[in-house]
Structure 1
Amino acid sequence: MMGNPLLLSMPGNEDMTSLLAKALGWEIGVLTARRFPDGESYIRYQTPVVGREVALVCTLVHPDEKLIALYLAAKTAREIGATRIGLVSPYLAYMRQDAVFNDGEGITSHHVATLIGSAVDWLVTVDPHLHRIRALDEIYPINTGVAHAAPAIFRWIGANLDKPLVIGPDAESEQWAEEVASAVGCPFTVLEKTRHGDRDVEVSVPDIGRWHGHTPVLVDDIASTARTMMAAVAHLKTTALPPAVCAVVHPIFAGDAFAALSACGVAKIVGCNTIEHACAGIDISEALALAMQSVTRGR
């Protein structure tokens, strides 16, 4: 393999690309990605890629706007001589539909995995939303690596909060709550959630009176509509606990979700920089860089 590996940012991923380049000592290349007037994607490499390993950085929030350009960028890199192509996608979309829930549906997580796997040789992401599959390599036909955000989150909690009480807003978040609380050395609990629709969530709160004086920290992997967190915050306000802090790995916050959660009276909302967002104050580039090193060295 000739030359230093090359990192290239798809539009909107420049900050993460810079952090990864600094951590890894890789060169940042120049890639032009724009749209023709009719909406088709245009890709051009300004930095030569012949004989080099190329890693495209592209977080996949709003994925339908990005997947075609990403696919063309990967295929073009191979066409013009890159030896190996990787994808660094801090937030990996299309993990929700991992089973057929209703007649007429398809397993779209598999289809998107096939598309991406046909264009790149390896993939690294942060805490993908896994439910009925245990690991990415069950659906991705390429080498994959997963970085974990929990260590960065518990470092942030330990540095910024006294007497935290980590709370998972639903049963799916229990692994997050337990892992973070164990690392911080604080108590945790999990709320019970009943979802009646995408934006209709009912939450029941266990007896948390024994943690009087603790700051509740709601921890979850994804905040999209944020309705689960809003329901949890509303119930926590009926207790004697201080205003809640919300910590999320992937701060999607679709539509007015961030403003709506902010208006609930939370003390703070903080997310990881898997997605560029105003609240993204927890840097996970170090964990991503380590995962990239592991995958690219063939481990």
Structure 2
Amino acid sequence: MKRIIFSLSAAPGMPEELARIYGAELGQIEHRQFPDGETYLRLISPVQAADVVLVCTLDRPDPKIMPLLIAAEAARNQGARSVSLVAPYLAYMRQDKAFRSGEAVSSTSFARLLSAYFDLLLTVDPHLHRIAALEDVYTVPSRVVSAAPTIANWVRTNAPNALLIGPDEESEQWVQDVAQRAQAPSAVLEKRRWGDFDVSISGGSLPDMTGKQPVIIDDIASSARTLVETVELLKNAGAAAPICVVVHPIFAGDSYDELLAAGAKQVVSTNAVHHPSNAIDMSESIAAALEEFGLESDELNDAEQFPRPVST
């Protein structure tokens, strides 16, 4: 069965690596904006009877979503056997509850939108909080690729004598997973969030860090306030300058520079989101998960029960 990958937004080199490992053709796509801001999109590579994979990491998602949906619909209209989405970063997962009267629960709205256009969804470590699993909001088969094994490999190679630090209680299970794989000790701090750019970190009873290289691990850095506070706490505790490892390096505004200025020894991230700090390649893990997902599996047949957009 023909496999073809189209890249709409991804870290440099990731689409090529995915195509190579997954045994797919790297498709050609023409994409531009008209003067009025509307999207023009053309699939140059033919997709008739092919399993199509659209790669689009959805950081800063609003300008990306319309081209993505148009590409998915175009592939389906041109005879693709299936249309799947690889979104290394999946947006709109945070607002999973209405905290005040009238608030939109955007995680549900976004899930309903993507579920209508795709047969399969694959992402890397989505920010699940009150949502237990993607299946709770997405109505198409989905897979989560864990960055823990790849991060653990990086830590073993690049951070001798590492002490892994989780900045909050939510990170505990995840940090312990990385620590076990890296065969390194770990500790978890306490966080209180007062607003989008206001958090406080408490060290509690930090372990002895003599001779240890602190490695702070977080799933997402948006404002980076959590990381900045953690770096400053460790610095005040007399620890060595920490390394910060981030799965999704959003780094809004000047937050990346602020983190370095706070005293981080090094900031590294996975290429789930394109950023200068990218040092950990997720391509192999994503391709392996895509292969395991199996576009010819029973899950694809199950997905056919869900409604798809119909063009006239």
What is the TM-score normalised by the length of structure 2? 0.92
In the aligned structure 2, how far is the partner of 1:128 from the partner of 1:155? Answer: 21
Which residue number in structure 2 is paired with residue 182 of structure 1?
Answer: 180
Q: Which range is displaced more, 152-161 or 198-207?
A: 198-207
Task: Report which stretch shifted further, 44-53 or 209-218.
Answer: 209-218
| Deviation (angstroms), 1:294 | 2.1
Given the alignment, which residue of 158, 161, 180 partners 1:160?
158
Aligned mate of 1:7, from 5, 8, 11: 5
Partner of 1:243: 241
Q: Size of the alignment, in residue pairs?
A: 297
Query: Kindly, what percent of the aligned residue pairs are identical?
Result: 44
Q: Deviations over 1:133-171 (max 9, x none)?
A: 221111111111111100000100000111111000111
Cα distance in 2 between the residues matched to 1:228 and 1:11:
27
Structure 1 alignment gaps of length 5 or more: none
User: Which residue does 1:46 correspond to in 2?
Assistant: 44
* Runs of 4+ with >3 A deviation: 11-14
Partner of 1:258: 256
Q: Which amino acid aligns with 2:255?
A: A
Give the secondary-structure state (helix, strand or coil) at the position aligned to 2:262: coil
Who is 1:70 aligned against?
Answer: 68
- Partner SS, residue 18 of structure 2: helix
Q: Is the 8 A contact 1:92 1:125 kept in 2?
A: yes
Matches within 5 A, 1:123-142: 123-142=121-140
Aligned residue among 29, 32, 49 for 1:31: 29
In structure 1, what is the Cα distance between the partners aligned to 2:31 and 2:242?
Answer: 41
Contact 2:11 2:272 (C-alpha < 8 Å) held by counterparts: no
Tell me the secondary structure at the aligned position of residue 49 of structure 1. Answer: coil
Structure 1 pair 30–13 and aligned structure 2 pair: CA distance change class (3 A)? farther
Contact 1:209 1:239 in 2 (8 A): no
Any idea what SS the aligned residue of 1:203 has?
strand
* Equivalence for 1:144: 142
1:121 corresponds, among 106, 119, 122, to 119
Aligned to 2:302: none
From 267, 270, 273, the equivalent of 1:269 is 267
Say which SS state the counterpart of residue 210 (structure 1) adopts: coil
Matches within 5 A, 1:79-228: 79-228=77-226
Q: 1:67 to 1:190 in 2, by over 3 A?
A: same
| Local SS of the residue matching 2:153 | helix
Cα separation, partners in 2 of 1:237 and 1:12, compared to 1, 3 Å: same
Partner Cα separation in structure 2 for residue 117 and residue 22 of structure 1: 27
The equivalent residue for 1:286 is 284
Superposition CA RMSD, Å: 1.2
How far the C-alpha of 1:12 sits from its partner, in A, is 4.7
Tell me, yes or no, if the aligned pair for 2:187 and 2:207 is still in contact at 8 Å. no
Cα distance in structure 1, aligned partners of 2:9 and 2:98 = 33
**What are structure 2's unaligned runs of at least 5 residues?**
300-312
> Does structure 2 conserve the Cα–Cα contact (< 8 Å) formed by 1:13 and 1:57?
no
Structure 1 residue 106: deviation in Å?
2.1
Task: State the secondary structure of the residue aligned to 1:263.
Answer: helix
TM-score by length of 1: 0.96
Aligned-partner Cα distance in 1 for 2:55–2:258: 30
CA drift at 1:17: 0.6
